[in-house]
Amino acid sequence: VQLQASGGGLVQAGGSLRLSCAASGVTFSYYAMGWFRQVPGKEREFVSGISRSGGTNIADSVKGRFTISRDNAKSTVYLQMNSLTPEDTAVYYCAARYGRVPYSVSSNQNEYSYWGQGTQVTVSS
Q: Which residues of the chain register pLDDT less than 70?
A: none
Number of neighbours of residue 88 by Cβ within 10 angstroms: 22
Q: What average pLDDT does the structure give for the chain? A: 96
Residues comprising the chain, all counted: 125
Looking at residue 99, what is its pLDDT? 83
Looking at residue 116, what is its pLDDT? 96
State whether the Cα torsion 108-119-43-13 is positive or negative. negative
Judge whether 50 and 103 are in contact, CB under 8 Å.
no
Looking at residue 101, what is its pLDDT? 84
Nearest 5°: CA angle at 21, between 121 and 85? 25
**What is the three-state SS of the chain?**
CEEEEECCEEEECCCCEEEEEEEECCCHHHEEEEEEEECCCCCCEEEEEECCCCCEEECCCCCCCEEEEEEHHHCEEEEEECCCCHHHCEEEEEEEEECCCCCCCCCCHHHCCEECCCEEEEEEC
Looking at residue 114, what is its pLDDT? 96
Q: What is the pLDDT of residues 47-83, one digit of tens each?
A: 999 999 999 999 999 999 999 999 999 999 999 999 9
